[in-house]
Structure 1
């Protein structure tokens, strides 16, 4: 077993296709020492993953990926070692999912204005769980099912990604508020995939505001981006993290990338754990 961890994976609790326990088993198969469950605006999948981790002998890091908006685009902040059994945390995350639902309605309205016969009901029917934590990948899947596009990637390129015809970012919390949220609940805050934002001035301002770490190794970062954010993180004394952003399978291909394809050292995990423990007062 390697001393590495995939610190960015999604499950059925948000927009992944695997049950949480499946991610844990896959991490074990990939030879990892640890895996983080970081679903969008929910901690619902963590308890199952933790139990699977005990069975498989692999550490499960309780996490979350908080959705925020700055400059008209989505900015994601990862929180690690969150108190996933806390009722208060679940209540606060539920309020964030309400904002996600509003965005989904706006996207569907824009798609329908473009002449696409898509309904919110059909999209939400994809998930039967209570939380109905629906995101853009579910909308993309419905566009594929309707024959509007041939793939998830095409759906994002044409309609759902930044610059797409139906892209929208309704009022949500700011990245600074997301960082504050994570710190308040006793977690460690890390900026997800900074290379996707095309705004290193914003990235640096969030570092100064109070980030604990930065995601250096990510499938959407080329070597130049990895090196840029590694140097930036070292300059500010941040924890350098990495993860696959694995969302399970779309057809026969892993989406975003295969679990374990991007990782961080376990020393980064220990640093995140220490910060969260201090923040919780333990």
Structure 2
């Protein structure tokens, strides 16, 4: 087995299409030594993935991807080796899911105004989620309903025309600041990493969050060009940060993989060791074992 780790993947606990255990099995088939489970605003899929990882000999890194807003756009902060059972952290994630649900309702209202009626019941049916669960419903689930109802041809058109940034039904209500997400992750003993910085087009924002206290940046991401990856890897080195890598795998819809297959971006075990060393919770758990 190689030392490759993919540190960014999503499961059915948020907007991925595979159960956590399936992602772990796919990681093994892809020749990965380890995989991080980083669902949006929830850690509901981590326990299942860890159990499957132990069965298969795949190292599962517990994680989360917290949704925030700054400068009028979404900013995502990854957290690794958090204490997923921390009551305060779980309560805070529940707050985020309530805000996410409000955003979903606002999007559906906008779609009705555009003559594309979609109900929350249809979205929940598509997502196979139940209200009140520790799982998240997001724009990909709404996009899937748009496809199923024939409003658009595919997921790409759904985001390009209606759900992506600045598209017709896009809304962005007041949400958590990235600084707060960084604090929350640290409070839970974890390591905050700025996700896919190349998607923001705002290096001033990236540097501001570096100065605030992120421990690293996701330099290598499936939506980054090679030039972008070199740029952010150099930035990480310049500031003494951890440069992470991840595919941002969400599974497949209609035969199309989003964002890329597991292992499309990966790092080695030395990066994971740096994350472990930076995590208070990991160090405490190791001392107690």
TM-score when scaled to structure 1? Answer: 0.97
Which deviates more from structure 2 when the two are superposed, residues 211-220 or residues 79-88? 79-88
Deviations 1:26-59 (A, max 9, x none): 1111111110000000000000000000000011
**Separation in 1, partners of 2:282, 2:29:** 33
Match of 1:212 among 206, 210, 215: 215
The list of structure 1 runs, each at least 4 consecutive aligned residues, that deviate by more than 4 angstroms after superposition, is: 278-282
Q: CA deviation at 1:3?
A: 0.8
Report how many residues are paired: 282
Root-mean-square deviation (Å): 1.4
5+ long unaligned stretches in structure 2 = none
2:7 is aligned to 7
Structure 2 residue matching 1:125: 3-state secondary structure: helix
- Aligned 1:1-282 pairs, distance under 5 A: 1-126=1-126, 127-129=128-130, 130-277=133-280
Q: CA deviation at 1:232?
A: 0.7
Deviations 1:53-108 (A, max 9, x none): 00000110000000000111110000000111333322221111001001101111
TM-score when scaled to structure 2? Answer: 0.94
Contact 1:183 1:279 in 2 (8 A): no
5+ long unaligned stretches in structure 1 = none
**Separation in 1, partners of 2:235, 2:165:** 25
Structure 1 residue matching 2:279: 3-state secondary structure: helix
Q: CA deviation at 1:128?
A: 3.2
Alpha carbons of structure 1 residues 198 and 33: separation in structure 2 relative to 1, 3 Å: same
Which deviates more from structure 2 when the two are superposed, residues 124-133 or residues 229-238? 124-133
